Amino acid sequence: MYPVARSAAWRYARARGKFSPLRRVGGLQERVLPPVYGRAGSLIWLEKRSQSSISESQATTTTTTAQTKSRPPKDEPPPPRNKRRFLIRATTTTLLTLLAFSLGFAMAAAPAYSTALEVANPPTDEETLTLFIPTTRDIATIETQIFSHPLTQSLLADPKYIASRPHLKIPEALRAQNLTGGTLLGPDKIAVPPLQFTTPDGSKFISFQWVGHGLCGHPGIIHGGLLATLLDEGLARCCFPALPNKVAVTATLNVQYKKPAMAGQILILRAETTKVEGRKAWVKGTLETLGEGMEGRGVVVTEAEALFIEPRQAASMRRVVN
């Protein structure tokens, strides 16, 4: 702006021969300086104009600063209402989601938690004798027939044997995954949980089991595979206490069928551990009908010999039945 004003002043002074600056006051022009001719007039006018501009700028700056200082400080404006509502809704939604997830997880985990507690705290051997409740009159008759037999009474009174129903130690939620403790149990199959007697040293074992018509291979005759299954499990339970970690798997099982086993009766399994070497145990046993008298000797229907070996990782194996 300064070079333009100076150029205009020079042109004006040179054209007129003199320069007399004026200023406007209240709509009227007032002479500021007397006329000055030529170049000197233009220089004086420019100097005065520059001083006037600086003074006006300083005055404006001072006025603005004073107004700023005298103006009271403004508080920060509150957040918009829409933002507040969004934060409240987001927080509420998050809390409700976490609550619903926690409740759902607790409800879903409740059965598993209950099962885990049952596995960790199974009933004692003595408690298993009273856990089974017959559901029909026929099953109640079978239960009475087993417990009232002279052999059962003598074994219950013998301190050398421990009486139990180990299948009832399996949590109810897991029984469907166990062959002899769930799948084969039923009114027309193994009607009542087998009653078992074992010695603490694993030398002898006796069990009572009812076999119904739903377990036949031929009409009226129990399937030979079921008899082998009963022998496999009974002989294994006989030797478990004699092994370091009380568990083993079948290595060999030799079965000899002597007589047909008829359905609808009680069979007695008798087993004896013949030798133990480290993680290995040899066991032999028989399945026979329940006879009269204190010994209950009847007809031998099946004989078996087996070798059981405790796995190397037996200490960390998951067990459902002790």
pLDDT-derived band at 35 (thresholds 50, 70, 90) equals low
Q: What's the pLDDT at 241?
A: 94
Instruction: At 117, list the tokens.
Output: 């507690």
Q: At what angle do helices 2-16 and 38-70 cross, to 10 degrees?
A: 150
pLDDT in tens, 277-310: 999 999 999 999 999 888 889 999 999 999 999 9
Alpha-helix residue ranges (DSSP H) falling in 121-203: 125-128, 137-147, 150-157
Classified as helix, coil or strand, 134 is: coil
Instruction: At 37, list the tokens.
Output: 């001719």
pLDDT-derived band at 4 (thresholds 50, 70, 90) equals very low
CATH number, position 263: 3.10.129.10
End position of a domain, from candidates 26, 41, 68: 68
- Across residues 90-105, what is the average pLDDT? 79
Beta bridge partners of 210: 266
Instruction: Tell me the CA distances in angstroms from 96 to 66, 93, 104, 109, one per residue in order.
Output: 55, 5, 12, 20
Looking at the fold, whether 131 and 240 belong to one and the same domain comes out as yes
Q: Does residue 76 form part of some domain?
A: no
Task: Tally the residues of the chain.
Answer: 322
Q: What's the pLDDT at 8?
A: 59
Q: Does residue 115 form part of some domain?
A: no
pLDDT at 149 over 90: yes
Would you say 261 and 228 are in contact if contact means Cβ atoms under 8 Å apart? no
* Domain assignment of residue 227, given as a range: 123-316
Distance CA 51, CA 56 (A): 9
Looking at the fold, whether 206 and 283 belong to one and the same domain comes out as yes
Q: Does residue 274 form part of some domain?
A: yes
pLDDT at 61 over 60: no
Distance CA 262, CA 260 (A): 6
Rg over alpha carbons for the chain, rounded to the nearest Å, is 53
End position of a domain, from candidates 22, 50, 68: 68
pLDDT in tens, 181-223: 889 998 899 999 999 999 999 999 999 999 999 999 999 999 9
Instruction: Tell me the CA distances in angstroms from 56 to 3, 25, 49, 196, one per residue in order.
Output: 20, 15, 11, 116
Residues 6+ apart with CB under 8 A from 280: 251, 307, 308, 309, 310
Q: Does residue 77 form part of some domain?
A: no
Distance CA 175, CA 182 (A): 5
Would you say 281 and 273 are in contact if contact means Cβ atoms under 8 Å apart? yes
Looking at the 3D structure of the chain, how many domains does it have? 2
